[in-house]
Amino acid sequence: MSPSGARGASAPRKAGKAPGRARVWATRAPLLPALIFLIAVTQLPFVATVVVSFFDWNSLSPDDRAFSAFSNYGEVFSDPSLRESVFTTVLLTASVVIVSVVLGLLLALLLDREFIGRGFVRTLLITPFLLVPVSAALLWKHVLYNPEYGLLNGAWAWFTGLFGVDSPGQPDWISEMPLAAVAAALVWQWTPFMMLILLAGLQSRSAEQMEAARLDGANAWQMFCHLTLPHLRRYLELGVLLGSIYIVQNFDAVFTITAGGLGTANLPYTIYQTFYQAHEYGLASAAGVVVVIGTIVVATFALRVVSSLFREEAGRA
């Protein structure tokens, strides 16, 4: 083939590439404003927080601001109050996630069965998760926990009076068991989230496999242990990981119910206290960066679990 012929054959290819790139950019261009807005709202403040975390900066003494390198991060891991808040965060997150997963699994198994009014019951069970977190915390603090007119004390007085037992008095739930009071409010709000994830897993089981096991003589407990639980493993992991991400960052319940007192100050509340009350901008920024890094690590595992779920579903299809 002559050189002119080769040039003529390559020309249509180049012409074909240009419209293809134009179509790609035409589809991406409408997303650029949203991407720029997302970067401006989320990434730029985080970069600013990272920069501030390397300074010894107290807003009450703005002229004494100085670069301190990693000293703020060292204080985050060595300060006793911050270490205590980390322990409280871990304890609160673990207890809420475990109880929420167990209760969510029981409710999902209940809703997986056919019964009259199942849709209405499902709606009622989902409602706590739809409430604004501050509203849910206020509900528990004033409607349930209040020692004078709370429903818990009213139910306790009615129950003891039913059996003729003299009530020892109206317990103050928040002051007597503060961390449990915060955990109960969070469990009530996050159990529906776990229920929805596990219910989706239950409804994705193979009906043929369950029927074959039933015909082979397997009882309900054997089917649950050998078929249902292995199938729900990925969904349980996803619920635990996502629940941990959100509950680690929870601020509303601690701030509203106990105001961080009585040993309930978790890491987000301690960061708030360090920033807005102690005015230690550098130290609070360093603690915030540590929380973000830990959240990213947990979120990475969550994304892997989600991708594995999608791969399994695609393989079944």
The amino acid sitting at 251 is: F
Look at the chain and count its residues.
317
Are the beta carbons of 285 and 68 closer than 8 angstroms? Answer: no
Pick the closest to residue 173 from 184, 165, 188, 162 (CA basis).
184
Does an H or E element contain 56, and which? Answer: strand 55-56
Section 57-75 average pLDDT = 80
CA dist., res. 144 & res. 228, Å (int):
36
258-268 tens-digit pLDDT: 988 888 888 88
Give the pLDDT score at 310. Answer: 64
Strand 55-56 with 66-67, pairing? antiparallel
Give the pLDDT score at 282. Answer: 86
pTM: 0.76
Please name the residues in contact with 131: beta carbons below 8 A apart, sequence gap of 6 or more. 139, 189
190-226 tens-digit pLDDT: 999 999 999 988 888 877 888 888 888 888 888 888 8
Under the banding of pLDDT at 50, 70 and 90, the label for residue 49 is confident
CA dist., res. 210 & res. 66, Å (int):
66
Measured in whole angstroms, the distance separating CA 20 from the mean position of its chain's CA atoms is: 41
Q: Provide the H-helix boundaries in 40-172.
A: 44-52, 71-78, 80-111, 118-130, 133-138, 151-162
Give the pLDDT score at 183. Answer: 93
1-22 tens-digit pLDDT: 455 554 554 455 554 555 667 7
Give the pLDDT score at 312. Answer: 65
229-238 tens-digit pLDDT: 888 888 888 8
Are the beta carbons of 136 and 188 closer than 8 angstroms? Answer: yes
On the question of pLDDT at 290 being above 70, the answer is yes
122-172 tens-digit pLDDT: 888 888 888 888 989 999 998 888 888 888 888 877 777 776 666 666 778
Strand partners, 280: 58
Highest mean pLDDT among 117-121, 169-173, 182-186, 287-291 belongs to: 182-186
On the question of pLDDT at 246 being above 80, the answer is yes
Give the pLDDT score at 315. Answer: 64
Are the beta carbons of 151 and 143 closer than 8 angstroms? Answer: yes
Under the banding of pLDDT at 50, 70 and 90, the label for residue 309 is low
Give the pLDDT score at 317. Answer: 56
Are the beta carbons of 174 and 259 closer than 8 angstroms? Answer: no
CA dist., res. 277 & res. 47, Å (int):
23
Section 30-55 average pLDDT = 83
Question: Dihedral, CA atoms, 202, 204, 207, 213, nearest 10 degrees?
Answer: -50
Cα 19–Cα 22–Cα 27 angle in degrees, nearest 5? 130
On the question of pLDDT at 33 being above 80, the answer is yes
More confident residue, 188 or 15: 188
86-115 tens-digit pLDDT: 888 888 988 999 999 999 999 999 888 888
Q: What percent of the chain has pLDDT over 70?
A: 88
